[in-house]
Structure 1
């Protein structure tokens, strides 16, 4: 029998709680649901009013993994959906997770949460900018940290505040709160900074995705600022061998990282970090931190 749970007055069927999703650590679906329940206060503000894309991995990262923007079959009527533009003349509906019951319903599907840089009430008007720092072996997240520090300083010169999180995979994400700005303008500015970075640090920074150029360098992926693209949401679990999380990190941690292991965070690490630091990305919600694009 599938247990029925009451979450804030909503009846939820939470299934296969003993199923192992991350074999390397024996992490079960029940432990994943517990993780989201205990970090809801931190993750929900980052999901609120943003149309969701799901990367689903119901049989673990070694099973079938698929990406979907459409509301999954059986989405309860009480889960909010919004109409968003898919192309110039086409609209489609996507899920928005805004409360604990919706979060637990989505987590029960075993998903990564991915969100755009804009909110549902104003599609294509970005309120944040993102740089996805992706290392090409033998470069690691340690090299990403050097690039992150360069970017932070460069953004500060333009009056912009930068915040960091791990990707939950190999790299780092740099997030910048903005006054609402058309995504096309944000994309153009982000590309300019990536090109500038490559000119300043040609042995370290790369602004093009070309595989043959990647070894030993950090690709500064600016493309996720496109209104059609999404980025892993802060605190989302990733479909990796181990239950790693896209975790906010302090600039002190970025500056002091000496090995990749220093910036790997799993689900058991997040509650103690929240207790110690609070949400390190909380300033993203402070209107006083959102700068105009130069």
Structure 2
């Protein structure tokens, strides 16, 4: 029998708490503790956004698989939403992580949290912009920081408020809150800026995904803004050799980065960072901080 616990009045069965999920010895119990301790930070970034699970039930070195449909055995109290899929007329039912019980239930499945740039009540209407800066070896997050600073200044020149987080893997994510606008307009704007970044930082940036173009350069992935795509949610753990987190960072940390280890954060680092810096990405979920997409057409009625 799995041990039962009660979270805000909901009874949950938690399984295999002693299971080691990462080669470092980090266990499932420690993972659940991490999410419970940092729930107030992660929940606003999950709320109302259809969840895609990247599951690694046998640990970070085991099989990984993406899942969007409701997992078997989903409790009837978990909120869900029907959202369109890429096929014509196709839909799917996704989990919405609206509260702490749902967060712990979903974390118990051993998953990375991935979410789109739009909310369930307005599919394909983005309320944020994202760039995924992905370094091709031997480039590292240090080179990503140079590109991030250029992008941050360029986006600010267009009137946007810009924030950053680590991907929790090798690179950085650059984000800006937007007044709701169709995803295709955000994608087109992001591609223009990625092309401009490549023209300006010729020896450092590539805007195309082709692997043969990427060694020693930073791929500025603008396509994460496409309505069908998702990005690692702020504060999610990643299925890496260590329990790394997609962690918000300051622009000062980006400017000062000279070694990849400076911007690699694990589960145990996050609560102290929240105490020191507060929730750096809170403006992303504050509608008053959203800005119009440059050249965009606001979504009607939003």
Count of aligned pairs = 293
Counterpart CA distance in 1 for 2:195 and 2:166 is 22
SS at match of 1:243: coil
SS in 1 for 2:29: helix
Superposition TM-score, scaled by structure 2 size: 0.96
The alpha-carbon deviation at position 210 of structure 1 amounts to 1.0
Which residue number in structure 1 is paired with residue 18 of structure 2?
18
What is the rounded CA distance, in whole Å, between the counterparts of 1:170 and 1:196 in structure 2?
A: 23
5+ residue gaps, structure 1, are: none
Deviations 1:220-250 (A, max 9, x none): 0001100000000000000011000000001
Deviation larger for 29-38 or 85-94: 85-94
> 2:254 corresponds to which residue?
254
Structure 1 partner of 2:135: 135
CA distance in 2, matches of 1:141, 1:119: 30
- How far did 1:62 drift? 1.4
Q: Report how far residue 64 of structure 1 moved.
A: 1.4
Name the stretch that deviates more: 188-197 or 54-63. 54-63
Question: Matched residue of 2:246: which SS?
Answer: coil
Q: Say if 2:295 is the partner of 1:290.
A: no
Cα distance in 1 for residues equivalent to 2:247 and 2:255: 16
Distance in 2, Cα, partners of 1:113 & 1:165: 15
Matched, 1:279 2:271: no
Is 1:50 matched with 2:44? no
How far off is 1:286 after superposition? 2.4
How many Å apart are 1:154 and its aligned residue?
0.4
For residues 68 and 163 of structure 1, the distance between their equivalents in structure 2, rounded to whole angstroms, comes to 28
Q: Distance in 2 between matches of 1:59 and 1:241?
A: 13
SS in 2 for 1:188: helix
Distance 1:284 1:69 in 2: 24
Q: Which residue of 2 aligns with 1:69?
A: 68
- Within-5 A mapping of 1:172-211: 172-211=172-211
Query: Aligned partners of 1:256, 1:5: CA distance in 2, in Å?
Result: 44
Compute the displacement of 1:88 (Å). 2.9
Give the C-alpha shift of residue 216 in structure 1. 0.9
